[in-house]
Amino acid sequence: MYPLQIDHLTKRYGHDVVLDDLTFTVPPGRVTCFLGPNGAGKSTTMKILLDLAKADHGHATIGRTRYRDTDDPARTVGVALEPNAFHPGRSGRNHLRVLTDGAGIRPVRIDQTLEMVGLTHAADRHVGGYSLGMRQRLGLAAALLGDPPVLVLDEPGNGLDPQGIRWLRDLLRERAAAGGTVFVSTHLLSEVEHLADEVVVLDHGRLVATGALATLQHAGTSVRTPDPERLTQLLTAAGATVRPGSDTDLVVRGLGIVEIGDRACSAGIALHELSPQAGSLEELFLDWTATSTTATKAPITDSTAGNRTTEGAGIVDVEGAERQVLPL
């Protein structure tokens, strides 16, 4: 079993803070999707996990071992970080041959992985003539060469058509169902709802939500009150995120039902309804990554059921400042 542990990672480029005391765990046997706006720090986190960048503080491990200390990395961790990490003059088959030779993997895996990703028909064509979706498939073939129990993939669905997205989803869920650890960075929120067991959400280098997606989606509360403006001010001041619902309804995230009721009662605000409210992932994502204040609060987790939230403080991410290398 190979859990991924991110432990108090802090990373700066000059005066810019990219990761701010980041801690979370990616469990085996689950598909964990890594979410956040552009510049949130996702790629930097993956680079530190794979020893392609150095943290200023904290550490990241794969199965309790740093990547660089792994005995057989190609058979332990499959990595796809760049869709263009190929020589355009090489064929897809030759690209995989270079990787198998360097990692000591049996050449028979070349044809097996090409078939697995649906590139057998294009195996002998130059990669420079591949579409983005075909390059994504070749990157996945490279990640799967050693049949690793861990997959670390950065935006693997980019450029894939609907059939390709469905194929990728089935592949990743099969790997997780077999006990593998699957860690996927993506912006495709609609696909995350079909794919993810767990989510980890960053905003400006900070953890803002983590846990089982099904639990987090029910972390909101529908509130009906004759005084929505006053209640909104009260709950927002307490750290909640409040959005208008229908009529006099409000959707509140970041405070539990009991605390909402207690605060309203203390303020003399009448409530006509308090009930759990499930939200779409898009709504949740916008709430989680709201950056309207500079207050630092605890992240939402499935264990806290949305009792608190974290909002970023205008931290800038300078991703890609270190050299990109695709590990075997």
Instruction: Give pLDDT tens digits for 191-215.
Output: 999 999 999 999 999 999 899 988 8
Distance of CA 112 to the CA centre of its chain: 28
Looking at the DSSP assignment, which residues form a beta bridge with residue 26?
Answer: 4
Nearest 5°: the CA angle 229, 231, 234 is 115
Computed over every residue of the chain, the mean pLDDT equals 86
Q: Quote the tokens at residue 68.
A: 């660089």
pLDDT at residue number 294: 38
Q: Tell me: the pLDDT tens digits for 162-171?
A: 999 999 999 9
- In this prediction, residue 249 has a pLDDT band, given cuts at 50, 70 and 90, of confident
The superfamily (CATH) of domain 4-214 is P-loop containing nucleotide triphosphate hydrolases (3.40.50.300)
- In this prediction, residue 309 has a pLDDT band, given cuts at 50, 70 and 90, of very low
Overall average pLDDT of the 152-156 stretch:
95
E-state strands within the chain: 4-13, 16-26, 31-35, 57-62, 77-80, 150-154, 181-185, 198-203, 206-212, 220-224, 241-244, 249-253, 273-277, 300-301
Burial of 266 (0-12, 13-18, 19+ CB in 10 A): exposed
Q: Give the range among 32-36, 88-92, 275-279, 310-314 with minimum mean pLDDT.
A: 310-314
- With residue 108 as reference, give the H or E element that holds it: helix 108-116
Instruction: Give ranges for CATH 3.30.70.980 in the chain.
Output: 215-301
Question: Residue 8: which of 63, 59, 62 has the closest Cα?
Answer: 59
Looking at the DSSP assignment, which residues form a beta bridge with residue 274?
Answer: 223
- In this prediction, residue 253 has a pLDDT band, given cuts at 50, 70 and 90, of confident
Is the CB of residue 323 less than 8 Å from the CB of residue 53?
no
Q: Tell me: the pLDDT tens digits for 121-145?
A: 999 999 999 999 999 999 999 999 9
Instruction: Give ranges for CATH 3.40.50.300 in the chain.
Output: 4-214
- In this prediction, residue 263 has a pLDDT band, given cuts at 50, 70 and 90, of very high
Longest Cα–Cα distance in the chain:
74
Looking at the DSSP assignment, which residues form a beta bridge with residue 210?
Answer: 200, 301
Q: Tell me: the pLDDT tens digits for 212-238?
A: 988 887 778 889 999 999 999 999 999
Residues 6+ apart with CB under 8 A from 101: none
> How many Å apart are CA 135 and CA 91, to the nearest integer?
11
Q: Is the predicted pLDDT of residue 306 greater than 50, yes or no?
A: no
- In this prediction, residue 46 has a pLDDT band, given cuts at 50, 70 and 90, of very high
Is the CB of residue 25 less than 8 Å from the CB of residue 4?
yes
> How many Å apart are CA 152 and CA 50, to the nearest integer?
9
Q: Is the predicted pLDDT of residue 95 greater than 60, yes or no?
A: yes
292 or 160: whose pLDDT is higher? 160
Burial of 260 (0-12, 13-18, 19+ CB in 10 A): buried
Q: CATH assignment of 215-301?
A: 3.30.70.980
Write the single-letter amino acid at 265. Answer: C
- In this prediction, residue 297 has a pLDDT band, given cuts at 50, 70 and 90, of low
Q: Give the range among 53-57, 165-169, 265-269, 304-308 with minimum mean pLDDT.
A: 304-308
Q: Rounded to two decimals, what is the model's pTM?
A: 0.80
